[in-house]
Amino acid sequence: MTIDEFKTKNNIQFENRALVEQAFIHRSFINENPRTGLRHNERLEFLGDAVLELVVTEYLYKTYPDHNEGDLTAYRSALVNASTLGEVADELSFNDMMKLSKGEAKDVSRARSSILADAYEAFVGALYLDQGYDKVKEFISKTVLTKTDDIIKKGLYKDAKSFVQEKSQELLSITPAYKVLSEEGPDHDKLFTVGIYFADELIAEGRGKSKQEGETLAARAALVKRGWVSE
């Protein structure tokens, strides 16, 4: 997909074309193609992360005036985690826009989770720089904040690790255990695959940018697999 096709599909306009292109450039592509003169998206990701958190926090604060700080924090965490953002980015066809190394390009599962989530944040940063706060707020509202009702209704904001432990102890008299199954990537960009076990049985896996995130995603997957929460 070209930049123009992407802009048309998502009804987005940009003044600075190079800025939106940079949002889709992963570090691995630059490492493999050092003479392109291009820059990866990590600085934009840093900015976009802060902008995204502000927009989501403002929305939750105004929309749920009777909910306490703990609930609002849990809602926000569920909205901006790698799983949600990766899903949103995939819906927006970010996967077709990414510039990755040959190795990363082959790893579809990774491109659809951690890398796509980072690219969404980078895109938010680019849109903020190019169009300002109101436009980026509109974009986040259409793409991420529409997930809020579903997340609250299905209980997806609940701490997955605590919830799966509660259910497994109540129903199975088992305390779940977690094990790192693999680590990939350089130190600055590691991806951890973590398994959750009931006794010796591997129930589900989660992949995240930290062991904690991997455990959380594994716990969420186990809850869905066991039918203790809906997808």
pLDDT (average), residues 1-8: 83
Q: Which pLDDT value is given to residue 5?
A: 85
Strand-pairing partners, residue 208, are 192
What pLDDT score does 108 carry? 60
Confidence of residue 114 (pLDDT cuts 50, 70, 90): confident
Q: Which CATH fold would you assign to the domain 3-153?
A: Ribonuclease iii, N-terminal Endonuclease Domain; Chain A (1.10.1520)
Q: What is the pLDDT of residues 53-87, one digit of tens each?
A: 999 999 999 999 999 999 999 999 889 988 899 99
217 or 144: which carries more pLDDT confidence? 144
Q: Going by C-beta distance under 8 Å and a sequence separation of 6 or more, which residues neighbour residue 123?
A: 20, 23, 24, 44, 48, 89, 94
Among 7-21, 71-85, 105-119, the minimum mean pLDDT is found in 105-119
The catalytic residues are 49, 121
Q: Are 117 and 89 in contact (CB under 8 A)?
A: yes
pLDDT given for residue 170 in this prediction = 93
Dihedral sign of CA atoms 212, 111, 116, 223 in order? negative
Would you say how long the chain is, in residues?
Answer: 231
Would you kindly state where each structural domain of the chain is located, as residue ranges?
A: 3-153, 160-225
Third-level CATH fold of 160-225: Double Stranded RNA Binding Domain (3.30.160)
Among left, alpha and beta (phi > 0; psi -120 to 50; other), residue 129 is alpha
DSSP assignment, residue 67?
S
Q: To which residue do tokens 């259910």 refer? A: 167
- Grade residue 198 by pLDDT with cuts at 50, 70 and 90: very high
Q: Which pLDDT belongs to residue 231?
A: 62
Token pair, residue 4, equals 């123009």
Three-state SS at 180: strand
